[in-house]
Amino acid sequence: MLEAGLLVRTAFFMAAVFCVIILGLSAFITTQYGPNTSAAAIFLLLNSVWSLLALVYLSIVPIYGPRLFNEFVCLGLNAVTTIFWFAGAIGIAGTVGAQWRAEQASTAFSFFLWAIFTGLLVVKVKSVVRSRRQPQSPLKP
The answer to whether 100 touches 73, Cβ cutoff 8 Å, is no
Q: pLDDT digits over 55-94, tens only?
A: 999 988 888 988 988 888 999 999 999 999 999 999 998 8
DSSP class of residue 57 equals I
Using CA atoms, how far apart are residues 45 and 47, in angstroms rounded to an integer? 5
Rg (the chain; Cα; Å): 18
Q: Is residue 2 classed as helix, strand or coil in its secondary structure?
A: coil
Predicted confidence band at 136 (pLDDT cuts at 50, 70, 90)? low
Mean pLDDT of the chain: 88
Q: What is the value of pTM for the model shown?
A: 0.86
Residue 127 has pLDDT above 70, yes or no: yes
Residues 120, 58: contact at Cβ < 8 Å?
yes
Contact 76, 84 (CB under 8 A): no
Q: Is the pLDDT of residue 135 over 90?
A: no
Measured CA to CA, the distance from residue 41 to residue 72 in angstroms comes to 30
Q: Cα separation of 133 and 129, whole Å? A: 6
> Of all helices (H) and strands (E), which one includes residue 139?
none
What pLDDT, in 10s, does the model give residues 9-45? 999 999 999 999 999 999 998 998 888 888 998 999 9
